[in-house]
Amino acid sequence: MLLRWGIPIAILLATIAALPFAYIAKARVSTSTKPRLHGWQDMDIQPMHNKQGETELFRDKRLMRPPVAGTVARGEDFLDTHLWQGRVVGRNGKLGWANAFPPSLTVDRDFLDRGRERYEIYCSMCHGYSGQGDGAVHQRVMLRKATSQPGFDAWAAPASYHTDAVRSQPLGQLFNTISNGKNNMAGYRAQIPAADRWAIVAYVKALQHSKPADAAGKGK
């Protein structure tokens, strides 16, 4: 009995034992559009929704839940609109651009030096060291456009700070441009802490006061 079935069973077991290796060998030389065998699921595979999508879970069907009434923001203290938004309550009782630095910051030489350092890291590559909108990145794009290299048609020239339109802006508005961007410029609130954004505002004002001159000594 044992002799009769022993050999076929041994062959069968050997074949089964070889299957994983055959599978691995095949997987190594072929491609598949299906996900690979996923023995232990962890939380890799789970139901997903679009943030803006719908759900049956809530009566208003909104998947993204509004904050609970009375929620207080943590981290950035949004009650200090001057420091975080560059806006203060004006005489008309409405919020408008602040034209002073937030009282919690000390505007001195160190502050300005910090602003210069941060400006040169975050802004100078586009706006240039003197704020004329002629930074290295802009010059490089101009060079490439001049030699008809494709892909630069959509390039928006960085603004100069020495135009009346920018020079007349209140400090808070400059702070807002740095924080949230403007038109084609992206915002920097995620990269630059608020105090440093104000320091950059101070340095941009210093640049504007220095009024870069052309070769004939005329201010632009």
Binding site for ligand HEC (CB under 6 A): 122-123, 125-127, 156, 158-159, 161, 166, 174, 177-178, 182-185, 188, 200, 204
Q: Report which of 131, 130, 132, 128 is spatially closest to residue 140, judged by C-alpha positions.
A: 128
Measured distance CA(220)–CA(134) in Å, rounded:
14
Considering beta carbons, is residue 12 or 143 the nearer one to ligand HEC? 143
Shortest separation between residue 161's beta carbon and ligand HEC, angstroms: 6
Measured distance CA(62)–CA(185) in Å, rounded:
32
Considering beta carbons, is residue 62 or 167 the nearer one to ligand HEC? 167
Shortest separation between residue 98's beta carbon and ligand HEC, angstroms: 15
Q: What is the dihedral of CA 97, 117, 160, 144, to 10 degrees?
A: -140
**Closest chain position to ligand HEC (CB):** 123
Burial status of residue 79 (CB atoms within 10 A of its CB: 0-12, 13-18, 19 or more) = exposed
Shortest separation between residue 49's beta carbon and ligand HEC, angstroms: 34
Considering beta carbons, is residue 18 or 116 the nearer one to ligand HEC? 116
Tokens of 39: 């023995």
Shortest separation between residue 220's beta carbon and ligand HEC, angstroms: 16
